[in-house]
Amino acid sequence: MLFSHSKQLFKKMTQNSSLQNWLIESPKYTIFRINKLMQLNVVNLQNYLEEQRKELNSDSIPKYYFLKPDCLVIEQWPAPLTLEKTNNEVIVDPLCAAAVLRGAHVYAPGVLGLPSNCVINERIDIYGSMDGQCKRGHKVKYEGNKQYVGTGYLKMLRSNLFEKGVQPNGIAVQTLLPASRLPVINETIFPKGQVLLQNLPSIIAGWVVNAQPYEYILDMCAAPGNKTTHLGEMSDNKAVIIAIDKTIQKCAKIQQTCDTQGVTCVKAYAYDSTKCHSDDTENNIMKPPFCSNTFDKILLDAPCSGLGQRPQLNNNISLKMLHSYKFVQRKLFDVAVKILKINGKLIYSTCTVTVDENEGMVSWVLEKFPCLKLIPAEPLYGGPGLPNVGLSDKERVMVQRFGPEDDDLRPVEDIYRNTIGFFIAAFVKTEDYNT
């Protein structure tokens, strides 16, 4: 369950009372983005799921299908499907517990406690510490507030995990079945770079950008590069894509993502995006800072509070920090408007659920920048924006909010409701920006 501080925070910052319960639940689908530059052979997936079916003694494998050629959906294992509890348990931190519920293995840094009598490759139950009281290195059975999140096979002993002076890494528990019944997919069954585990709204944000060959596109806050590479693949590796993030380390991660997926049309730069505009008209288009009216399209996937992640088992963000994000987002908008070409397209997205960072930001943008016109963030799969928070019905039907809400303005299919909390808005620049 969410810490009480987080409950108060969500009540204060959100408009929908059902949102808290929705956020602590796991999504019902696993989503892979398929690399358009490579050909996918689903036989490997079929064979892999068939092997798992036998081990789990299930009557059938999970359903899977393509929403689009670059988006593979895998459903939960059919119910009922349960495995007997074991006598041993591993305690993990809340972030690791949430990852297990999403279909991940347990990696060593997330382990808090493990008894000393466990044996490699034996099945062990996985519990998340929900009260923050379990300290790293816990040796006996933990009796505090804990939640069962799955079961798997132990791959590391206490000596591997907690030996003094050693920073553990690698898989500590190979997850067999999460409590959410989401399949655990080993990406190594696919050729390197062919698939990428990615949240569905994040993929949809790329569809809204709709990168085309020879366009000049800026990804303003690009690390780790998942959306960046999607744009490159979408353009058949023929767009000119500039990816910016603040540190050399983050840019190295972007480059690594591009290399893995065979995307060669991206140039990554370590730069502060709030300062990437210059009045110098002689600046090189390929390197920040950029002069006015440079880019055909800009993706502003902004730094945000991240309160749309699911399952959200705990959150320690302070109200002060929460309120700070909108000011950074406003600075980024101010720069983006300047360096976007007239008739250029600006896509704004967040992975959070707060009004301030979503509908409130759109309302602020429309008032602050008369040169920007809100347009439908097509293709429209999420629900409309929330009512009575600054946008008219005409405006809120143009944006996409992914959450539990039902709204007659646009009914939403189950798959788009059972993902993470996310928001997408699109604008076109109709005239030059005069400060």
The set of residues, in sequence order, having a beta carbon less than 8 Å from that of 356 and lying 6+ positions away, is 13, 323, 325, 326
Sheet of strand 195-197: strand arrangement? 64-68, 71-75, 29-34, 195-197
**Quick check: 224 and 199 in contact, CB under 8 A?**
no
What the block records as the tokens of 119 is 């044996």
Q: Of 118, 258, 351, 371, which one is the catalytic site residue?
A: 351
Ramachandran angles phi, psi of 149, nearest 5°: -125, -5
Which residue, 198, 230, 200, is CA-closest to 35?
Answer: 230
> How far apart are the C-alpha atoms of 167 and 183, rounded to whole Å?
29
The size of the chain, in residues, is 435
Which residue, 300, 131, 163, is CA-closest to 218?
Answer: 300
H/E element holding 400? strand 400-402
> How far apart are the C-alpha atoms of 264 and 240, rounded to whole Å?
10
**Residue ranges with strand state E in 284-339:** 295-301
> How far apart are the C-alpha atoms of 149 and 51, rounded to whole Å?
22
**Quick check: 154 and 122 in contact, CB under 8 A?**
yes
Cα dist from 66 to 39, 40, 51, 211, 242, whole Å: 14, 11, 22, 20, 29
> How far apart are the C-alpha atoms of 59 and 434, rounded to whole Å?
64
Task: Quote the crossing angle between the two packed helices 4-13 and 319-339, to the nearest 10°.
Answer: 40
304 among known catalytic residues: no
> How far apart are the C-alpha atoms of 260 and 280, rounded to whole Å?
36
Return the half-sphere exposure (C-beta side, CA atoms, 13 A cut-off) of residue 312.
26
Return the half-sphere exposure (C-beta side, CA atoms, 13 A cut-off) of residue 382.
33
Burial classification of residue 185, based on how many CB atoms lie within 10 Å of its CB (0-12 exposed, 13-18 middle, 19 or more buried): buried
What the block records as the tokens of 427 is 């604008």
Catalytic residues: 351
